[in-house]
């Protein structure tokens, strides 16, 4: 009688649970295999170098100020050297603009003097100064990955 009821119902409960367990084991094995294959591909994200060329020293006569838009850096040349100041506000990362007193953040109103020191607004720190060096061929470059103390200037040889 049990064979006749099995034919009418299709799968027995025992057969169904066995197939479900087998299917679960196959899916788990596929998940482990996919995870193992994921380790083959590295998780590296490439980014642009923080060092960039700005030109020869003769391109920066005394009194020159220049903004390098794609790097968000201001370059200034004074009688006692060349220096680079970040154009990124230390409050929330907006791009500052030159103003009559130094720099102004258009987003939240932070104000910085000509040396990048905070003189008003919510910015917690002064603007960063970056290192300027000269390559062997005489070309100047800024290392935006290396902050230097405020007031540090590259002196022309």
Q: Give the residue extent of every domain in the chain.
A: 2-38, 51-148
Q: Residue 58's pLDDT is what?
A: 84
Q: Which residues, including other chains, have CB under 8 Å from residue 15's CB and lie 6 or more apart? A: none
- For residue 2, is pLDDT > 80? no
Which pLDDT value is given to residue 109? 85
Residue 3: the pLDDT is 54
Q: Among the listed ranges 4-18, 89-103, 134-148, which one has the minimum average pLDDT value? A: 4-18
Q: pLDDT tens across 32-64, in order?
A: 998 888 877 777 777 777 888 888 888 888 888
- Yes or no: say if 119 and 138 are a contact pair by the CB < 8 Å rule: no
Residue 9 backbone dihedrals phi, psi, to 5 degrees: -85, -25
Q: 3-class SS at 46?
A: coil
pLDDT at 1: 46
CATH number of 51-148: 2.102.10.10
| pLDDT of the residue at 99 | 87
Strand order in the sheet with 65-68: 51-55, 140-148, 129-134, 81-86, 73-78, 65-68
In whole angstroms, give the CA distance from residue 154 to residue 145.
16
What are the pLDDT digits (tens) for 73-121?
A: 999 888 888 899 999 999 888 899 888 888 999 888 899 998 889 988 8
- With 70 as the cut, is the pLDDT of residue 124 above it? yes
Handedness of CA 124, 125, 127, 131 (dihedral sign): negative
Compute the radius of gyration of the chain from its Cα atoms.
32
What 3-state class would DSSP assign to 74? strand
Query: What mean pLDDT is predicted for residues 24-38?
Result: 90
The angle at the Cα of 79, spanning 56 to 144, to the nearest 5 degrees, equals 50
18 and 24 in contact (C-beta within 8 Å)?
no
Between 2 and 30, residue with greater pLDDT: 30
């Amino acid at each position: 009688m049990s064979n006749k009821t099995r034919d009418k119902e299709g799968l027995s409960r025992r057969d169904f649970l066995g197939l479900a367990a087998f299917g679960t084991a196959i899916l788990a094995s596929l998940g482990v295999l996919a995870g193992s294959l994921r380790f083959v591909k590295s998780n590296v994200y490439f980014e642009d170098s923080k060092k960039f060329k700005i030109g020869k020293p003769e391109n920066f006569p005394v009194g020159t100020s220049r903004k390098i838009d794609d790097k968000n850096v201001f370059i200034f040349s004074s009688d006692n050297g060349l220096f680079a100041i970040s154009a990124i506000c230390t409050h929330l990362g907006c791009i500052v603009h030159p103003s009559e007193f130094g720099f102004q953040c258009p987003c939240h109103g932070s104000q910085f003097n000509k040396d990048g020191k905070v003189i008003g607004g919510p910015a917690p720190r002064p603007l960063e100064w970056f290192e300027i060096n000269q390559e062997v061929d005489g070309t100047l470059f800024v290392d935006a990955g290396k902050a230097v103390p405020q007031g540090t200037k590259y002196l022309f040889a």
